[in-house]
Structure 1
């Protein structure tokens, strides 16, 4: 997948498809989540790219090697919500 990038970091939100954006995009998506009754539900995954990413073998899924988070109900509540926000901000500030 080739995505036109103007600046890093870029965050990818994976649900049933892929959406790309900056830190504000991720924050917006987090605000839209309704907690699930199932505590094990993964609402979506967030991947952080600080530079261009290409798999070593074209076509092979190597996304597990990219910095990422599985957003669950726990991610939406204190203290994990504050930790997640700090992690995102650190990545955005280091760019």
Structure 2
């Protein structure tokens, strides 16, 4: 019977070691994934800032890149549509 408990103890110890290693692996992977997400969010903020900077140049007639001008014109058109829709909302509220 002692042999049974010795073997059981060894198996439990081995299993605990394996579970511990797997837990550490998962923890390390999740930390790395978190770092990746943080870097991606920082890039997204920078993309937005770049876009705002380009649009400000467009508004000031300082932008010469045709590709960017097309995007800015599309933004400007949508902004006008938003303003028209807001006026319609205001008109409906006033009725």
Both structures adopt the same fold (TM-score exceeding 0.5): no
State which structure, 1 or 2, has the greater radius of gyration over its C-alpha atoms. 2
Q: Structure 1 length as normaliser, TM-score?
A: 0.25
Give the number of the structure with larger relative contact order, counting CA–CA contacts within 8 Å between residues 6 or more apart.
1
The structure where strand makes up a greater share of residues is 1
